[in-house]
Amino acid sequence: MSDKRERESFETILTYITTTVLVVMLTVQVFSRYVLSRNVTWSEEVSRISFVWMVYAAIAYAAKHDKHIRLSFALMALPSTLQKIVLTVADAVWMAMNLLITYHSIFYIRRLFRFPFISQSLGINLVYTYFIVPIGFMFVTYRIAQNIVKRFRTTGIDVHDSRMDM
């Protein structure tokens, strides 16, 4: 995949935007609290919402690059074909869990539309914060499926101890 296409991926853009918003809002909060001796309550809520969205976008980004947490030490001891099988079974279980969470989060979001939970400072329905849950899990599921396909289209497998990347 080209570097330009990587930078334009949904997960990358969303992670950049939400991280930037988070840093700016935290800076505003610190500045207003310690320099101006005022509390900007809305910036705390924007920071919290940005953080939640950033986490889900970053999870999808990690899944896209197949860099999620796993026990690679035991996996590296297996032959390549068995590694693919074990990883695929583990990814299939992860995808099933993601689809279950997506299913239940959609019902929760529908309930929040009927019975809104309004944020105190921003005055918005927090359903917009929770939208990231099904979106994030669906993107993770999609990226895992891409990894499974890629895993069986290539020869060999790239399972390594990520501590070596440091």
Q: Average of pLDDT values for 133-161?
A: 82
Q: Give the pLDDT score at 166.
A: 44
pLDDT tier at 159, thresholds 50, 70, 90: low
- The pLDDT-based confidence of 7 (bands split at 50, 70, 90) is low
41's tokens: 């309550």
Res. 163: pLDDT tops 90: no
Q: What is the pLDDT of residue 112?
A: 87
Q: Two tokens at 88?
A: 């695929």
The C-alpha atoms of residue 160 and residue 166 are separated, in whole angstroms, by 12
Task: Give the separation between CA 122 and CA 86, rounded to whole angstroms.
Answer: 46
The closest alpha carbon to 99, from 128, 142, 56, 60, belongs to: 142
Q: What is the mean pLDDT of residues 41-57?
A: 91
Mean pLDDT confidence for 72-100 = 87
Buried b (16+ CB within 10 A) or exposed e, 126-154: ebebbbbbbbbbbbbbbbbeebbeebeee
User: What distance in Å separates the CA atoms of residue 16 and residue 24, rounded to the nearest whole number?
Assistant: 12
Per-residue confidence band for 156, with pLDDT thresholds at 50, 70 and 90: low
